[in-house]
Amino acid sequence: MKFISYVFFFMGIAGFFYGYETGNLLIQTISKPIPVIVLILSIKQRNKYSKLITLALILSLIGDILLAKMIDKFLFGLISFLLAHVVYIFAFLKKSKRLALAESIPFYAYGVILFFFLHNHLGTMKIPVLAYIVVITTMLWRSFVQRKSGKLAKYAFYGALFFTISDTLIAIYRFYEPFNFDREATILTYWAAQYLIFLSTTRKIIG
């Protein structure tokens, strides 16, 4: 990613936090998608993996917009991110199709624990949230399986891990109980996740 791309990436982050701290919803809404837009424009379309990551980022971008506080279409945003995770799964399968069922156990165990922790608070959202948890834990598992498939493949796993952390934080403050700096922690881990997954499409870290 070029230097100017990093400038716009961090300008988007700074703009979002300025809007958040000042209560300016318009600046928040405009700034929030900018980091992901930068990543989309920075990906080199070298192979099917890169193309799938691009598609997942586009679906994430749609989710970003739908989840913006000014728009707040939570269910549709959830669906958009669910589809993004499905595409990430297919991307990671391009790197490794090894079954590795035993390696899936800790990831699905985490999903089960999270769902049962939340299920009394989900109301009509039980089925959508369950579907989302199944998909994101599958995404995390497949990112783990492919982590040794290339020089930068490990960054996809790190990104998927940050994504899972971010989505867990959203679930906790949305359905269970808000906590100090919940939005800040959620968005920062989300941007870290997308950036790290983006890195897995590159040939080197900087450039």
Neighbours of 43 (CB within 10 A): 16
Report DSSP state, residue 176.
Answer: I
What is the predicted pLDDT for the residue at 60?
A: 97
Taking alpha carbons only, the member of 6, 1, 29, 3 closest to residue 16 is 29
What is the predicted pLDDT for the residue at 207?
A: 45
End-to-end CA distance of the chain: 5
Q: How far apart are CA 182 and CA 136, in angstroms?
A: 20
What is the predicted pLDDT for the residue at 205?
A: 59
Longest dimension (CA), the chain: 49
Q: What is the pLDDT along the chain (207 residues), one digit of tens a residue?
A: 899 999 999 999 999 999 999 999 999 999 999 999 999 999 998 899 999 999 999 999 999 999 988 888 988 999 999 999 999 999 999 999 999 999 999 999 999 999 999 999 999 999 999 999 999 999 999 999 999 999 999 999 999 999 999 999 999 999 999 999 999 999 999 999 999 999 999 976 554
Q: Which long-range contacts (CB under 8 A, 24 or more apart) does 59-66 make?
A: 59/83, 59/84, 59/87, 60/36, 60/84, 60/194, 61/33, 61/36, 61/37, 64/32, 64/33, 64/36, 65/29, 65/32, 65/33
Residue 179: burial class (beta carbons within 10 Å; 0-12, 13-18, 19+): exposed
- The answer to whether the CB of 34 falls within 8 A of the CB of 12 is yes
Q: How far apart are CA 78 and CA 93, in angstroms?
A: 23
* Residue 69, both tokens: 């506080």
